[in-house]
Amino acid sequence: MLYPCGFGTVAFELLSCYKMTKNIKWIGLIAFLLIVSSVAIHQTPIYPAIHDNLLGFLTDTNDLPDQKTFDAIYILGGSQESLSLKYEILNSLYSQGRCKEIVILSRSGYTEYNPSLKRNMTHDEWSLIILNKYGIPEEMVQIVKIDDGYFGTYSEAEFVSRMAGEKAWNSLLLITSPHHTKRVIKSFTSFIDKKMLNIELWITASTEQVGLFDLWVELFKLKFYQFFLLT
């Protein structure tokens, strides 16, 4: 049986055959229809199948080799809840001695109150405190500030790939949310290829789970990146 998700995915893939100038109206229209349909079918029996089908399409991860040590691990940005799950993956790898450098994205603003500091923590302080609880010392963590503009993942890929070249990393592991992995790997691969860097690029995912609406939004982002940013 062909579920609606399969039809939507095929429709998006067929769009790649047309010129960029003819795509934007169709992308917007199809994205709108798919998002509306996700709301309409939320309570139907086929919802889990559509969700799993689309998640599978958006997911692109590596089976990490046992005992491999990476020159650097970069944690993609996200919400506090999303980062907590990514830091769990980082903790597992760090405790096995499988990374030489750790890089995380700086986030502006403040989060919850910290009794020890007697004030609200900055987002960066929160990250360092969480990582310290895992036994990862502050001096091991590099916090990079990136002007992400409208395209955060694109900006991260550009900045970190340049950083990889400057530091002569031979291997880089990316940790992100499952449904972001395909867009992340395509973005980083694009910049690494453009810079002709000789680097092994790996990607793994946290255990984050999202609903169907978020998956449709991610599919739209993926296709927008492919049509307009990574060409």
Q: Residue 4 above 80 pLDDT? A: no
Strand order in the sheet with 102-105: 141-144, 102-105, 72-75, 171-176, 200-205
The single-letter code of the amino acid at 114 is N
Write the CA distances from 193 to 20, 23, 179, 197, 212, integer angstroms: 22, 25, 23, 6, 32
C-alpha span between 151 and 225 (Å, rounded): 9
Hey, what amino acid is at 222? L
pTM (2 d.p.): 0.84
Higher pLDDT, 38 or 151: 151
Average pLDDT, integer, range 71-82: 97
β-strand 141-144 against 102-105: which pairing, if any? Answer: parallel
| Model pLDDT, residue 74 | 98
Does residue 22 surpass a pLDDT of 60? no
Q: pLDDT of 43-56, one tens digit each?
A: 667 888 889 999 99
Domain boundaries, the chain: 4-59+213-229, 72-208
| CATH number for the segment(s) 72-208 | 3.40.50.620
Query: At residue 12, does pLDDT exceed 50?
Result: no
* 99-128 residue pLDDT tens: 999 999 999 999 999 999 999 999 999 999
pLDDT at 2: 34
